[in-house]
Amino acid sequence: MTAEVIVPALAGPAPAGRTGRRQKPTTTWRLLPILPAIVLLLIFLAGPVVWSFYGSFTNASLTGVNAQNPAWIGFGNYLRLFSDPVFPLSLGLTVVFVLASAIVGQNFLGLGIALLMNRAHRFVAGAVGTCVVAAWVLPEIVAAFVAYAYFSQDGTLNQLLAALGMTGPNWLYSFPMLAIVLANVWRGTAFSMMVYRAALNDVPIEITEAAMIDGAGGAKRLFLITIPMIKSSITTNLMLITLQTLSVFTLVWVMTAGGPGNQSTILPVMAFQEAFRFSDIGYGTAIATVMLLIGAVFSIIYIRALRPSKG
């Protein structure tokens, strides 16, 4: 599960000589083996997406009459959503969460670690890499408990602060967003680190050395040579971690459950609460549809960004 596997690189065309060898079976016959995959994808992936659009126009509820026979209410859920004071708050918190924990935190920390690893002793690089990856390999619910324990009132973070003579606040209550942002950086940086390690390995050492001989300093080499050369990896990584962070639920649900009040209610948490805590499936589905649209926009940008790199 190294980065190379996870980051999909658009495959080049099939090797020469592979195409057009056998014309015997018809296209329909050839496509037959794809059928199981297509059926699965249609029922369980495309189905819910279509259902999401449909359901967001109904007043479906968790229990009661409207659970069995939901009525069509048109744009009712969306009108309610756009006048709900929690929605802009939640959208804003989601943007802050993605920007702070993914774009800034995971991305820069991951790049930093990868760059430092190239200079450090191989053993140190390996050991630190293992520590960073450990947080990422753990099942999400375990990682969430660990983060909860770390940030709780009498947790490890406040123990550290106490050792420095400071009294730490109750992080999960006083600074819930800061806590979940830091937790997500802790959990997700490994991905960026692996992407950038792989990318940096592909930068030919001759180029860096040539620049060094020409008298370019460390910072100059980094910004004028290394960064431009791994630009496509940076784009890929930014898109993927954005999409991953948009769908973080468990970490936030265990740590703060969106609270206190709505102070850390990111969109997935809001959709879940409206649907299952307030039994309003239709409304929750409308929020889900908005999230799907946001995800779709990012996916399209991502796929377009990948295109030129297709060999």
Partner 1 sequence: MTNLTAVVPVATRPGASVASPKKAVSALLANGILVLIGLCFLLPLAWLVLASLDVRASYQTQIPELLSLENFRAVLTPDLTFRPLWNSFLLSAGASVVTVVASVLAAYPLSRYSMRFNKPFMYAILFGTCLPITAIMVPVYSLFVRLQLIDSMGATILFMAATSLPMSIWMTKNFMDSVPISLEEAAWVDGASAMTALRRIVVPLMRPGLGVVFIFVFVQAWGNFFVPFILLLSPSKQPAAVSIYSFFGQFGAIAYGQLAAFSLLYSVPVILLYALVSRGMGASFCLSGAIKG
Site for partner 1 in 170-229 (CB under 8 A): 186, 189, 218
* 72-111 residues near partner 1, rule: CB under 8 A: 109
Q: For 143-286, where are the E strands, in sequence order?
A: none
The smaller minimum CB distance to partner 1, of residues 230 and 289, is found at 289
Which one, 89 or 120, has the nearer CB to partner 1? 120
Spatial CA neighbour of 287 closest among 84, 96, 67: 84
Q: Does 287 bind partner 1 (CB under 8 A)?
A: yes
Cα 23 off chain centre by: 43
Among 71, 95, 104, 124, binds partner 1 (CB under 8 A): 124
Q: Would you give the binding string for partner 1 spanning residues 46-65, x where CB under 8 A is met?
A: -xxx-xx--x----x-----
* DSSP run (H or E) holding 286: helix 281-306
- Residue 191 in contact with residue 110, Cβ under 8 Å? yes
Tell me the C-alpha to C-alpha distance, in Å, between residue 43 and each of 39, 40, 234, 299: 6, 5, 34, 21
With CB under 8 A as the contact rule, the residue among 141, 161, 210, 224 that binds partner 1 is 141
- Token representation of residue 116: 């430092």
Q: Quick check: 166 binds partner 1 (CB under 8 A)?
A: no
Does residue 161 interact with partner 1 by CB under 8 A?
no
Q: Which amino acid appears at position 47 of this protein?
A: G
Q: Which of residues 232-251 bind partner 1 (CB under 8 A)?
A: 239, 243, 246-250
Q: Interface residues for partner 1 in 28-47 (CB under 8 A)?
A: 30-31, 33-34, 36-38, 40-41, 43-45, 47
Q: Report how far apart, in Å, the C-alpha atoms of 110 and of each of 31, 107, 115, 216, 233 are.
A: 42, 5, 9, 24, 12
Stretch that binds partner 1, among 97-105, 199-207, 228-236, 294-302 (CB under 8 A): 294-302
**How far, in Å, CA of 2 to CA of 4, rounded?**
5
